[in-house]
Amino acid sequence: MSASSQKNTSSAWKALTSLAKSTAEDSIQDYFSSDPMRLEHYSIDLPGLYLDFSKNRINNDVFKALINLAQLSSLEGKRASMFHGDPINITERQPALHTALRDQESKVEINGVPVVNQITRQLLKMRNCSDAIRSGTWTGNTGEPITDVVNIGIGGSDLGPKMVCEALDEFGETGLNIHFISNVDGSEISKLLATLNAETTLFIVCSKSFTTQETLLNTNAAVSWLQRNLDIDSPQGSSHFIAITAAPQAAIKFGVDPANILEFWNWVGGRYSLWSAIGLSISVAIGHDNFEKLLEGAKAMDDHFLSAPLDKSMPVVLALTGIWYNNFLGAESIAIVPYCERLGLFPAYLQQLDMESNGKSTTLSGLAVRNTTAPVVWGQTGTNGQHAFFQLLHQGTRLIPIDFVAIVKENRGDPFQHKVLLASMVAQAAALVKGEVSDKAHQHYSGNKPSNTLLLDELNPHCLGMLIALYEHKVFVQGVIWDINSFDQWGVELGKRLTTLLLTDESGNDLDPSTRDLMRRSGLRD
């Protein structure tokens, strides 16, 4: 922490350190026994989304101390700064205005220009593109309507839209096929292109800078494929390509038709960009009306985050429970376990959101942090996870808090199977807390394993928007308390630069023997 932040929160930090020691032998079950109102005190019920955080190793003293930590930090001021559009991303001198993307009444201005005007224009362009593609009026070079849409991007330009499209696939209804390409491994795009008809395929190229190496390599592969199959010289300038970027001039230089360029802005971080024009693939997949319902759900969580008292704020509570385990009980990871197959990509999405945002070791003032920051985020869907890693959760030696996520009302599949699915999740959370005593060591369950449970009323655009925004704000709260910048990602740059040097043979002799040998063995260097 910086000196100022350390001074503000040092008393709360010391109190929590002491409580971690004094409550080390406490039992979650005893907490329930001693407080008949524990569930009421340790749950938050919002329209569409419910959080039960009662199964945590947190008593009233710990909870009050955690809230005190948040109060003594700069959280409320930083929260206001983020929503106001202040340049809280200090290393890139940018605001972090993903919240404005879902606020049609935003008053934020950048250089005297209301951002809502820019956002509204791009939303209208998104709607027009989406409607044309979905209705069949957007045609390819030979006049055939589009049947397949390929989103080319990486990181936030891929994972967020892909996760949402998979989660909400029942809202598609058009018969359009939506594909996602991200990996620079050429086998991925080659395998996909072999299944597509060039006359009816549309590529959406998503790159903030329009210089991202992986995205441009895959885009060039798509261009070459269209050249071969449609016999046109510059397919990137045809109706088979749409570009989404914060650098429209770079896309124009690449040859994309300016009419087919949608924009977002440098004040939108990649991992927060699904709410922007980067979400065009979502709009195409589920319809733009449903895309706007996704925005509305996120806005509902924004409003809750802004208005709820800290002790009744879902993002704050999730953030503080995570800090308790991470910083005071020594947990190094958190498992995300959605009991819904359509949320299969949600753990991976949260990996990027959390670990890219808060995987930092430098404070806002440039000093080394004095505490651990982001945990390792991992997970898989239940019930598959029960037959994979739940053995470690129940009987392993590591403390791993868990976030369970489930859908109450299921509109697809057999109702009894859904009942079994929900029963499996509820049972696992209960078993992790309860444990079981046995005179056979290998059948002994220590119990006292913590978890949160999140229940969505339905897996619809509004509820999913709430869920995603909840975790965005959780990550932000933790970053504020750790006094780090959650909105840059300089850690990904060094490897990318070195890749370029290796490929251009400009790395010189400044390489270790292992790297030089691997380059020789893999054919990168004679």
Positions marked active-site:
356, 387, 496
Both tokens assigned to 126: 């998104």
Residue 204 phi, psi dihedral angles, 5° rounding: -110, 110
CB 154 within 8 A of CB 191: no
DSSP assignment string, 22-54: HTTT--HHHHHHH-TTHHHHTEEEETTEEEE--
Cα separations in angstroms, 437 against 30, 94, 440, 455: 16, 55, 9, 30
Q: Distance between CA 203 and CA 281 in Å, rounded?
A: 10
Residue 110 phi, psi dihedral angles, 5° rounding: -120, 120
Categorise residue 438: left if φ over 0, alpha if ψ from -120 to 50, beta otherwise: beta
Q: Distance between CA 320 and CA 303 in Å, rounded?
A: 19
Rg (the chain; Cα; Å)? 24
Helical ranges in 324-450 per DSSP H = 346-351, 357-358, 390-395, 415-434
Computed from CA positions of residues 443, 447, 450, 455, in that sequence, does the dihedral angle turn out positive or negative? positive
Q: Counting every residue, how long is the chain?
A: 526
Computed from CA positions of residues 183, 388, 419, 313, in that sequence, does the dihedral angle turn out positive or negative? negative
How many other CB atoms are there within 10 angstroms of residue 84's CB atom?
14
The upper half-sphere exposure of residue 400, i.e. CA atoms within 13 Å in the direction of its Cβ, equals 23
From first CA to last CA, the distance across the chain in angstroms is 47
144 secondary structure, DSSP code: P
CA proximity to 274, closest of 211, 346, 217? 346
Q: Distance between CA 367 and CA 3 in Å, rounded?
A: 9
Categorise residue 177: left if φ over 0, alpha if ψ from -120 to 50, beta otherwise: beta
The helix or strand, by DSSP H or E, that contains position 497, with its residue range, turns out to be: helix 493-503
CA proximity to 343, closest of 316, 299, 379? 379
